[in-house]
Amino acid sequence: MTTWHQEFFAAVGKWPWLESLNDSVSGAVQPVYDRFRGNLAVELLHGGRWAGHALHPALSDLPIGFWSGSLLLDMVGDDTATKGKLDAAGTLSAAGLAAAVATAVTGVADWTVSDGEDRRVGLFHGLLNGAATALQGASLAARLSGHRGSARTLGMASMAVTTAAGFVGGHLVQGRGAMVNRVASNTGPTRWVKTVAIDDLPDREPKGVDVEGRKVLLYREGETVHALDDVCSHAGALLSRGPVVDCVVTCPLHESQFDVRDGHIVRGPAHHPQPSLPSRVRNGFIEVRGSQPGRRRSTT
């Protein structure tokens, strides 16, 4: 049964003006991102292998917290303010604006490696956050000019829009699984399972196989065979469709890179390593069995 919020976000993703704006923004932002994709600073914006998760959701707590504190102080304080000086509520408002800049930058970085409906809804999320930040900026300006009442009203409006933006962001992460580990629950099979003949796996060419419902990438170096979960932990693309150079496979969707020998991240935007499966050759056939995500294994 479809819920009201599923229907709402499905409709949002089809808004003509949003689709048009998405195409325009993507056309401007994507080439810049692609140009600097391999830069360490870009990978840090995602969080990637350094943090083990996306930075954007964590940073988003900062402006929300600062602005909530500012609003609370406004509600319990008096209506007097010194023109040109910040009171405690104003200081929190300004701190939230500074935090919002960092949050926005990491959000844009994550948005560039999203697709389809996630990309359009993510843009809507960003527009709401932009509106909330503008309202908070106007609130701070009113506060500095001595108009405490206007500052309070604008601050309340900012928090209302921020709440709406948070609802949209929650849908993307919890409802759509954006920027989460797509292979966290992959552990099977619990026994050795025959896949393909060793002679049918060309040397240094990736091959995707199905092992009791689990997608597995096989890669051969002479007599040594490596096996990884074929589903990219970042966005679910099949790694076996990407190139492998010097034992590093590049995801064909967003160009995350993993070492086929143990699944560790070579380059983001992926945050989680690929599960590495034990493999062996028996009677001319390659056999694999399951393992926990990211666990190192040796080939026998």
- Condensed to tens digits (0 to 9), the pLDDT of residues 83-107 reads 556 788 999 999 999 999 999 999 9
Q: Is the pLDDT of residue 32 over 80?
A: yes
CATH number of 193-288: 2.102.10.10
Indicate the pLDDT class of residue 157, thresholds 50, 70 and 90.
Answer: very high
CB within 8 A of 130, min separation 6: which ones? 104
| Confidence bin at 183 (pLDDT 50/70/90) | confident
Using the predicted structure, report yes or no on whether residue 80 has a pLDDT greater than 70. Answer: no
pTM for the model: 0.79
What integer pLDDT is reported at residue 296 of this predicted model?
A: 44
Q: Quick one: average pLDDT of 35-55?
A: 81
Closest CA to 118 of 210, 232, 234: 234
- Residue owning tokens 């900012």: 158
Mean pLDDT over all residues of the chain?
88
Q: What is the pLDDT of residue 84?
A: 57
Q: Lowest mean pLDDT: which of 85-99, 123-137, 143-157, 279-293?
A: 279-293
Q: HEC string of 125-188?
A: HHHHHHHHHHHHHHHHHHHHCCCHHHHHHHHHHHHHHHHHHHHHHHHHHHHCCCCCCCCCCCCC
pLDDT of residue 79: 54
Q: With 50 as the cut, is the pLDDT of residue 284 above it? A: yes
What percent of the chain has pLDDT above 70?
A: 93
The DSSP bridge partners found for residue 244 are 249
Per-residue pLDDT, 10 = 83
User: Using CA atoms, how far apart are residues 275 and 74, in angstroms rounded to an integer?
Assistant: 50
Helix-then-strand count for the chain, H and E: 8, 11
* Per-position b or e across 16-28, b if 16+ CB within 10 A of its CB: eebeeebeebbee
Confidence band for 295, pLDDT divided at 50, 70 and 90: very low
Asked if the model's pLDDT at residue 51 lies above 80, the reply is: no
User: Where are the domains positioned within the chain?
Assistant: 4-175, 193-288
pLDDT for residue 285 is more than 90: yes
Q: What token pair was written down for 236?
A: 């679910």
Residues pairing with 209 in the sheet: 216
Mean pLDDT, to the nearest integer, of 153-165?
Answer: 95
| pLDDT tens by residue, 230-262 | 999 988 899 999 999 999 999 999 999 999 999
Instruction: Identify the pLDDT of residue 81.
Output: 52
Query: Which of 129 and 173 is assigned the larger pLDDT?
Result: 129
Do 236 and 182 form a contact (C-beta atoms < 8 A)?
A: yes
User: What pLDDT does 146 receive?
Assistant: 86
* 299 — pLDDT class (breaks 50, 70, 90): very low
Reduced to 3 states, what is the DSSP secondary structure of residue 267? strand
- Give the HSE-up count for residue 165: Cα atoms under 13 Å, Cβ half-sphere: 26
Question: Tell me, what amino acid is at 179?
Answer: M
Type of residue numbered 181: N
Closest CA to 277 of 213, 176, 212, 188: 188
DSSP class of residue 273 equals P
Strand, helix or coil for residue 85: coil
Check residues 80 and 48 and name the one with the higher pLDDT: 48
Q: Among 161, 159, 173, which Cα is nearest to 122's?
A: 173
CA 219/CA 226 separation, integer angstroms:
5
